[in-house]
Structure formats: structure tokens, C-alpha cells
Amino acid sequence: MRLEILTPEEMGSVDRKAVDAGPLDGYGLMQNAGAVVAAAILERFAEAEGFLVLCGPGNNGGDGYVVARLLVERGVQVRLFAETEPAAGSDAARARRACPVEPKSYSEFEPVERWLVVDALFGAGLSKPVEGREAAIIERVRTSGLPVVSIDLPSGVSGLTGKPLGAAFQADLTVTFFRKKPGHVLVPGRQMCGELLVADIGIAETTLNRAECKTWENHPALWRAALPEIGISAHKYSRGHVAVISGGATSTGAARLAARGAARAGAGAVTVLSPANALSVNAMHLTSIMLRRADTVEELEAFLSDRGPSGAVLGPGAGTGERTRSFARSLLDRAGAAGGLVFDADAITAFRGDPETLFAMIKASAAQVVLTPHEGEFGRLFPGLEDAPEVSKVERTREAAMRSGAAIVLKGPDTVVAAPDGRAAINVNATQHLATAGSGDVLSGIIAGLMAQTMPAFEAACAGIWLHAEAGRVFGRGLIAEDLPEMLPQVLQSQFPEHVR
Ligand SMILES: NC(=O)C1=CN([C@@H]2O[C@H](COP(=O)(O)OP(=O)(O)OC[C@H]3O[C@@H](n4cnc5c(N)ncnc54)[C@H](OP(=O)(O)O)[C@@H]3O)[C@@H](O)[C@H]2O)[C@@H](O)CC1
Ligand SMILES: Nc1ncnc2c1ncn2[C@@H]1O[C@H](COP(=O)(O)OP(=O)(O)O)[C@@H](O)[C@H]1O
Ligand SMILES: [K+]
């Protein structure tokens, strides 16, 4: 599967390598790009009565001239709008000369009913906010309601960040080339593309140095091989034992959701470690999941010594005070080499004043650590890496992983996972039904459950996010967090039948 995601800059270097290797030059690639776009348009929009092609000054516009020419050759009506001539000697200038349609200026642009707009204004070379006459055309197209096919990217959407830079098209179909770019999978770019087609334009697969690729679309192909297998002689503890730290009497549900997530993800045993004042409320709601008292670090450490769990979740409902901070220190200190720790919610917020101390402990620990912040929690731990218009969520998450020494799961509709070694994956199967209280708690449990079964942190985080999202997607409307663990068996059995024996 072609799961690699290339930044516009990386794509530019692939293009250059492809041209150097031949046989196609830049103009040849542009011809192929135009041809795949024209074919996709004719196949999907056969009922369109004519085409309004908008060409920008660069190679994206060059692709537009090729599309216009090919559509004219098919005998359909085409009007072309361009404001700036392509640079002399460029591939786009050659495509412009070969195009039989004389461009009109943008000011002459008029929407025509039942026609289709081909957006070839800007692609990978978007370098500043779209304003003025281009913004005016985009607004006219939007109010006309005409369908839009965008070449490479909806003009105005940054291929790097997925965010609009000024005005931007909402496309019905976007045709990009060779590989997806971050802007096609990060929101809001993902929705602004409409349907996304990744087309082959004759760039050899060998042009891409796969070993250098560090960013992927999250998909089972990335981590299927690392999914835990249950051996025939398994016993409950050999399948992994997860400890989940509960909060006090009025905030115990989050830990139980995480515990249930860990159990359904396949951990053979799960223990909730509860303050004394919450033991009875936890006991009333737990059956197969075990319960043990842990008010103090000494009690936690006694449990760690007795039972040697292979995974733990700290944070959901745990409180942001000294108990949580001291439990974090103890878990990082005492977890064996195979231990997998997930710090979520309050375990993240508890270190807001002193993230460097947490990062130093993580780096010194033998445990594999995953931090699962939402944007608010992320900002508390990583000042300076907050969301900003021109920064990519992938790069922010990657930088946070390097700073902290943990795998970072930055949650949202486009959850990004990054590892300290630079690997990153963008998740695309989530549904908005996951935006429900406690859904993140279940996720932390699923990831810990997978790590407790010896799945490495990055793979466990990617698998956990995908399974969690798939459970939400399959369940659909009316989802509450309690439903997520209960959907996992169905998702696991339908997607990975070989793992259920
Ligand atoms: N490389 C290859 O082999 C292949 C590439 N292909 C195609 O090439 C596309 C990339 O082409 P590209 O690099 O020429 O950039 P492109 O997106 O046309 O824009 C650059 C121009 O727009 C201008 N400009 C930017 N933002 C602006 C704004 N907001 N408002 C106004 N102006 C703005 C910018 O100005 P400047 O930054 O120089 O001031 C410059 O003049 C790629 O998306 C794909 O479609 C295919 O043919 C397959 C083979
Ligand atoms: N609009 C959305 N679309 C898809 N997934 C979402 C959306 N909103 C939230 N999620 C997912 O739901 C979960 C919410 O986690 P979190 O914010 O920690 O909530 P809670 O603290 O209530 O458990 C995360 O996995 C997140 O990625
Ligand atoms: K475009």
C-alpha cells in the first residue's frame, strides 16, 4: 500500500529525481498529470455541459492548460481564465502555448449553470495567503454552487498543514499525484479536497527512498505484523497485565473505562488501583477486572513488586495533585524493561508547571511511554508548540516526541502519532461520534492493553487509535464511551481474524 505521505518539499525532490532519471521530463510529467485529471473529470462528471478552467501562474496552472486542451480535443466546451503568463521557458509556458483556448482575464469570469470549475490556480507552490482577485473568484464559485475539481490541492489549502491560507476552494474532487501530502489528510484540508484521487503520472516507485520516509497514513498495514498473537499455552498473566490508577470516590468512571479498553484490547488481566475512599464504588462496577487499594506510593510499589504488571494507565480521573505526580515518578522508576505506560489527561496536566522534569524521567526510564494529550493538554506540556496558522500538526507532534522522549498521540479528528525517532502517522478513520466524554479514557486503556502484550509504543499507539476510531465508526450514532470497548471484539474479529484463535 502507498501509505507514505510526502510534504510538498519532499514531493518536489521526488519530481526532480524522476526527471533526472528520465525518460519523462517535467513537461512529460505535466502532460500525464493533465491527462489523469481530464480522465477523472470526464468519468465522474459526464453530465457537465462545459468547463471553466482557472489557471494560476505556476506549474499547477500548467496542468490546467493541459486539461483544457485535452477537454477541447474531446469536443466539449471550455473557457479558460488566467491573469499572469507563466514564466518564459517554463513547462507551464509550453503547456499554455499548446492550449488552443485563449485565456480570458479573471474579471470576465462568470459561472455557467451545469458547468464545472477546474481549479488550477495554486498547488504545491502556494506561498502566501490567497487574496484579491483570486479570493473573489473563489467566492463567486462558492456562491454559484458549481462543482469544483481541484488539481493537486484545493487552491488556498496548504499542502503542508492542511489549513487554508486566505481564501480556499471547497472541492468535490481533488486529483493529486504519486502520494498524498499532509494537507490531504489533516483537517480541514481533508474535507476541503472532497473525494481524493491519488494518480500515477509515470514517476517510478524507485524514485522514492522508502527508508527516508518518516510519515504515513495510519493503516493496519503499518502495524498488523506487531499485533499481539495469543499463544496456545497462554495464561492470563502471560497475555499482559494492565494496572489502571483510579481517582477518588467521585471520579472513578474514567479509570474503569480505561480498564475496560485494556481488557478488550486483549490484556489477560487488568487491575484498578483505587484510593481507599473509592474502593466500594469501584467494587460495585467491576467484575472480571480486579481491584486493589493504592492511596500511597508505597501501596503502588507493593503492587508493582507483587504483580509486575506489563502496562499501566495513569491520568484519567486521577487528579492533578501530588498523588498523580508521585505515582508517575514511581511507575517510570519501577516499570521493567517490557513495561508500557500511558499517561493521559490529569497525568499530563499534573506536570504543566514543570514538563522538563517529566521528560527527564521519561528519558531515564526503562519503560516505553505514550502520552495522549488533546490540544488543551498538549499546550500545557509543550509551550511554544501550540497550534498556529502556518505550523503543521505533524511537525508539532514530532517535535513534542523528540522533546519528551515519549510517543505522542495528539488527539482530534486527525489524530497524529509521533515517536522520538521521528516516525509519524496521521489517522484518518475517526468519526465525530468519538467526541463524547470518556472516549479518550478508553483510548488510553486500549493503547496500554496493546503495550502490555509487548507491542512497541509507536505501533501500539497507531493500532490503538485505529481500533478506537473503527469501533466508533462501526457503532455510529448514539455512541457513548462505554460502547467503545464493547465494539472492539467485532472490529478485531472482522479485521484481524487470524489473531482470534
Ligand atoms: N514538479 C513537477 O514535476 C510536477 C508538478 N506538477 C504540478 O505543479 C504544481 C506545483 O507547481 P509550482 O511549484 O510551480 O507551484 P504552483 O502551485 O503552481 O504555484 C506557484 C505560483 O503561484 C504563485 N503563488 C503562490 N501562492 C500565491 C498566492 N496566494 N497568490 C498569488 N500567487 C501565488 C507563486 O508566486 P511566488 O511564490 O513565486 O511569488 C508562483 O508563481 C503541483 O501542484 C502540480 O500541480 C505536475 O505538473 C506534475 C509534475
Ligand atoms: N470531531 C472528532 N472527530 C473524530 N474524533 C474525535 C473528534 N473529537 C474527538 N475525537 C476523538 O475522541 C477522543 C476524545 O478524547 P478526549 O479529548 O481525551 O476526551 P475525554 O477526556 O472525554 O475522554 C480522542 O480519541 C479524539 O481523537
Ligand atoms: K489547485
Residue 499's pLDDT is: 46
The residue among 274, 232, 224, 230 whose CA lies nearest residue 254 is 274
Would you state the cell numbers that stand for residue 85, as one nine-digit string? Answer: 503568463
- What is the spatial distance between Cα 402 and Cα 461, in angstroms, rounded to a whole number? 16
**Model confidence over 175-214: pLDDT tens digits?**
999 999 999 999 999 999 999 999 999 999 999 998 889 9
The residue among 421, 394, 431, 387 whose CA lies nearest residue 409 is 394
Mutation test residue for ligand 2: of 439, 446, 470, 482, the one with most atoms within 8 Å of CB: 439
475 CA distance to ligand 2 centroid (A)? 15
**Model confidence over 23-37: pLDDT tens digits?**
999 999 999 999 999
470 CA distance to ligand 3 centroid (A)? 31
**Model confidence over 444-500: pLDDT tens digits?**
999 999 999 999 999 999 999 999 999 999 999 999 999 999 999 999 999 998 644
250 CA distance to ligand 3 centroid (A)? 53
CA 474 distance to own-chain centroid:
19
Taking the CA of residue 165 as reference, the ligand 1 atom at the shortest distance is 29
Taking the CA of residue 434 as reference, the ligand 2 atom at the shortest distance is 12
The share of the chain scoring above pLDDT 70, in percent, equals: 98
441 is in an annotated binding site: yes
Q: State residue 222 phi and psi, 5-degree precision.
A: -75, -30
Taking the CA of residue 427 as reference, the ligand 2 atom at the shortest distance is 27
Q: Which ligand is nearest to the CA of 482?
A: 2
130 forms beta bridges with 166
58 CA distance to ligand 1 centroid (A)? 4
Residue 335's pLDDT is: 64
Q: State residue 290 phi and psi, 5-degree precision.
A: -85, 165
Residue 231's pLDDT is: 86
- What is the spatial distance between Cα 272 and Cα 18, in angstroms, rounded to a whole number? 56
415 is in an annotated binding site: yes
- What is the spatial distance between Cα 489 and Cα 193, in angstroms, rounded to a whole number? 33
Question: Is 7's C-beta closer than 6 angstroms to any atom of ligand 2?
Answer: no
Domain 8-213 carries which CATH code? 3.40.50.10260
* DSSP sequence for 420-461: TTS-EEE-----GGG-STTHHHHHHHHHHHHHHTT--HHHHH
Question: How does 413-440 read in b/e, with b if 16+ C-beta sit within 10 Å?
Answer: bbbbbbbbeebbbbbbbbbebbebebbb
Mean pLDDT for all residues in the chain: 96
154 CA distance to ligand 3 centroid (A)? 5
The residue among 324, 312, 431, 318 whose CA lies nearest residue 370 is 312
Q: Which ligand is nearest to the CA of 63?
A: 1
Burial class (CB in 10 A: 0-12, 13-18, 19+), 228: buried
Asked if pLDDT for residue 337 goes beyond 50, the answer is: no
439 is in an annotated binding site: no
Would you state the cell numbers that stand for residue 300, as one nine-digit string? Answer: 503502588
**Cα dist from 343 to 48, 123, 304, 407, whole Å:** 53, 39, 17, 10
Arithmetic mean of pLDDT, 159-185: 98
127 is in an annotated binding site: yes
**CA count, 13 A, side-chain hemisphere, 159:** 27
CATH 3.40.1190.20 describes domain 236-499: yes
Asked if pLDDT for residue 501 goes beyond 50, the answer is: no
Question: Is 432's C-beta closer than 6 angstroms to any atom of ligand 2?
Answer: yes
59 CA distance to ligand 1 centroid (A)? 5
Q: Which ligand is nearest to the CA of 60?
A: 1
* Amino acid in position 245: I
Arithmetic mean of pLDDT, 433-447: 98
For atom 24 of ligand 2, the residue with the nearest CA is 440
- What is the spatial distance between Cα 259 and Cα 85, in angstroms, rounded to a whole number? 62
**Model confidence over 214-251: pLDDT tens digits?**
999 999 999 999 999 888 888 988 899 999 999 999 99
Question: Is 412's C-beta closer than 6 angstroms to any atom of ligand 2?
Answer: yes
Residue 166's pLDDT is: 97
Asked if pLDDT for residue 112 goes beyond 90, the answer is: yes
Question: Is 188's C-beta closer than 6 angstroms to any atom of ligand 2?
Answer: no
- What is the spatial distance between Cα 490 and Cα 183, in angstroms, rounded to a whole number? 32
Q: Which ligand is nearest to the CA of 125?
A: 1
Arithmetic mean of pLDDT, 407-414: 98
- Domain residue ranges of the chain, discontinuous segments joined by +: 8-213, 236-499
Q: Tell me how long the chain is.
A: 501
- What is the spatial distance between Cα 262 and Cα 255, in angstroms, rounded to a whole number? 10
**Model confidence over 5-22: pLDDT tens digits?**
999 999 999 999 999 998
Are 189 and 158 in contact by the 8 Å Cβ rule? The answer is yes
Arithmetic mean of pLDDT, 80-107: 97
* DSSP sequence for 63-106: HHHHHHHHHHHTT-EEEEEESSPPPTTSHHHHHHHH--SPPBPG
Asked if pLDDT for residue 47 goes beyond 60, the answer is: yes
Res. 288 pLDDT band, cuts 50 70 90: very high
DSSP 8-state secondary structure symbol assigned to residue 228: P
- Dihedral angle at the C-alpha atoms of 44, 48, 52, 54, nearest 10 degrees? -10
Backbone dihedral region for residue 457 (phi beyond 0: left; psi -120 to 50: alpha; all else: beta): alpha
Strand ranges across the sheet with 50-55: 77-82, 50-55, 116-120, 148-151, 173-177, 195-199
